Chains A and B, each alone.
Chain A
């Protein structure tokens, strides 16, 4: 029995699926080297899907489809909207790069991106263990293929292998954990699992045992210490456009999975998973920040910086439930969501610059390749500087409010140990400031070095998107109110519907 509401719930996914297939077919007839036809079609699809999701999100309603297998709620719709826009931006930045590197000989970049996005959509709106897992696999399998897209490139192939092996292991962890939970509670449906756990009829040991595996699997996808080993190598080895595809939208999906599994499914176990997240967060802050200082390759540096940023995101997730009290959940998880969204926005800016600086035959991956960028192109240097200052968490940029929200949630919990954690996080972000500043230093204080002395040109579409991207980072820093409200309201509609 499939009712009408169920179809409404998955309209965007259907559009995405159909268009991904259509584009794969249409692409066969495209002869131009830059594949303008499929490129435009892909961008249109993404824009339409983003608009649909925004429409759902503005409606603000929560409803389930296909017998509670999928859910449509504001958080999910907003995240899906942002994810589509992220992929769109990535493709705009990455097309010249991909064309120069023989990655547009077929249209795989576009189709695989769309399939990966479809996986992300399913991950975000799945409300059933199996559906979530299916979405995850669809996303990661597309990602493995994307990383290996330059198949005659040794480091990319190595990165793909590493990603695949470790990713499969992590998926295995997650699946094992989910099966433990299924065994303990007798259901795959997240609401029923929640009710079973809340009833306290289920054996605690089994739950915690499964929980450990779930947290480990999710931690791997997020790239949190100690499950971060794959991240620097994949970021470094993958073609930069794929790095951005892997590091942007999937983080939003992983965040959504944290909320779906840990909050919607297992909030009564918060005491247990918060401890694990706390350790992962501390580890990520230490390893990410310290290792990033030592990097000379900017992609590796950004990879370690991602690890530290994810540590901050986790800090928000562990501040929700204090002494069994759920008053803090909205602001804490809302802060984490804000963090995830703004992190993706910022990393788009940073990787976008790296993508646009590359030329045929020159990768522009070292930090020193940015030398004197301010003299070559003030706009690019400005956007990169804004990204760096934002990642460092400096006002008046959007990254500051992200950190502020998370730290504020920790302090509002009123626990002394959390206040100590805040001081620790603050000191770590001081270390972080050092390596972000170093990038600014190279761009503004150093003179251009050969072979990077020419002025830079980029296609008009990339320039426009880049300017918007930079303006958003600054504009949301000056007026962050609406995005903060959006995130908290999204989370609050979830918290209110818990267990229903």
Chain B
């Protein structure tokens, strides 16, 4: 069994074991097993980084064996510079989220932890899959645990949120399924993604395929105007679910653009780039303004996720090294930062049971340690230099200005709006005098919460100060992807 298979199946096996294990009376043991499982699953991904060969865009750690021979579907996994970091990120976030859910989940703990573990394995599978059908199976299977996480442990309107999440994303991915089957037939019976990259396709076919993929990925990212499910779902999901959703699940869509849309339909991608750039800029500017007026902290962070993912898609569709690399860096950074933001809200919610900004004020007085962390993550969310949030945004803005000044200018407004909505929230929640009795009675974070926030803080600062390990891995793969996209596939 190869390293990648270990990375995919270790959490799933642990998750299944947790399902078989027990009841809420043994919650303590269940939590510890989940944590050990998550840590082990993270550790097995580390050799992927240390053994990764720089300077080649070829797939590495490849495993291939027949899966459904009749349909020529293979269990074919591997990573390149684009996907490598997401495998590690997923496993890392899983550890943090399990620590975060330690006390806030009290009912059916084993099912919750199992859902998180299985979800983590499935998401790694999405990033590692090199076979179209395998990708689809992992991509769709992630819906089931997430649906349960939202629906069982969510807030008051959890059922509406769970259905909206499931059906919205299912509609998109079903259209992608049709595209996958079409490509299979067109390529003479192969689900191999690399084969599809080389397949010549006529203009209209490319456009249709492009929009079928767009339906799946745009909903998942989510891009304006199909972003409306995200705030609803985030508000109702439990903290851990929100964190995984924002940190990893949204990346599945953005990753899909790089693995499917761009290389399979390059001509259509270039033809419709204006539309994607327009959507992305609307996300950056208009959704940024929406964030400004939110009263609910989770909604605010959810809308700001849409803004940040707008940067990702903007970077991709500029078709320059800087833009695409910036987009991927932004994806990783957003994984850390948005996860951290949701966990911070979770810390407050566990104590006060309110997500309204107006319920708080002056938290720094009673929770100084926590407020320091929250401040750091908020700054990263606003894109302060020296934090992870800065690197990607800056690269994308630079790439945008190079290609067209006005696109760059519009994207640059995020530095204002982003700072405005984040800092205004910080001011209202953390700064000022103690607002009410709830805040007066707050206890500062315990060592468990300290650990989880510290892990994320280190990641955020490291990536902000020294992003080289991240960009080095990507360079060759991104250059190669772009040179592939530059060549027309019309025959």
Contact = CB atoms under 8 A, between A and B. Distances in A.
A249 interface: no
Interface of A: 334, 374-375, 378, 382, 389, 394-396, 400-401, 404-405, 407-408, 411-412, 414, 419, 422-423, 426-427, 429-430, 433-434, 437, 440-441, 444-445, 479-481, 484-485, 488
A426 B177 CA distance: 9
Of the listed residues B141, B174, B182, the one surrounded by the most CB atoms of chain A closer than 10 A to its CB is: B174
Contact of A485 (B19, B67, B70, B148): B70
B279 interface: no
A480 B166 CA distance: 25
B175 interface: yes
A445 B181 contact: no
B174 A481 contact: no
A394 B143 CA distance: 9
B151 A411 contact: no
Contacts of B144: 389, 394
Contacts of B68: 401, 480-481, 484
Given A408-B184, A426-B175, A441 B143 contact: no
B137 A400 contact: yes
A411 B108 contact: no
Q: Closest 4 A-B residue pairs measured CB to CB?
A: A395-B137, A445-B151, A481-B68, A426-B174
Given A407-B178, A484-B70, A441 B162 contact: yes
Given A444-B151, A445-B152, A445-B158, A408 B181 contact: yes
Given A408-B181, A426-B174, A484-B71, A395 B136 contact: yes
Given A400-B140, A437-B147, 12 more contacts: A374-B111, A378-B111, A395-B137, A407-B181, A408-B185, A426-B174, A426-B177, A437-B163, A440-B147, A441-B159, A481-B69, A484-B71
Main secondary structure of the interface of B (DSSP, over half): helix
13 contacts: A395-B140, A401-B68, A404-B133, A407-B178, A407-B181, A411-B178, A414-B185, A423-B178, A430-B171, A441-B151, A445-B151, A481-B68, A485-B69
Interface residues of B, number: 36
Given A411-B185, A437-B166, A444-B148, A395 B67 contact: no
A445 B137 contact: no
B66 interface: yes
Contacts of B170: 430, 433
Contacts of A485: 69-70
Interface string B160-197: 00110011001100110110011011000000000000
Contacts of B136: 395
B178 A394 contact: no
A412 B143 contact: no
Contacts of A401: 68
A433 B178 contact: no
A485 B73 CA distance: 13
Contact of B137 (A396, A411, A488): A396
Nearest to A414: B185
A422 B140 contact: no
A473 to B, nearest CB: 13
Contacts of B178: 407, 411, 419, 422-423, 426
Nearest to B122: A396
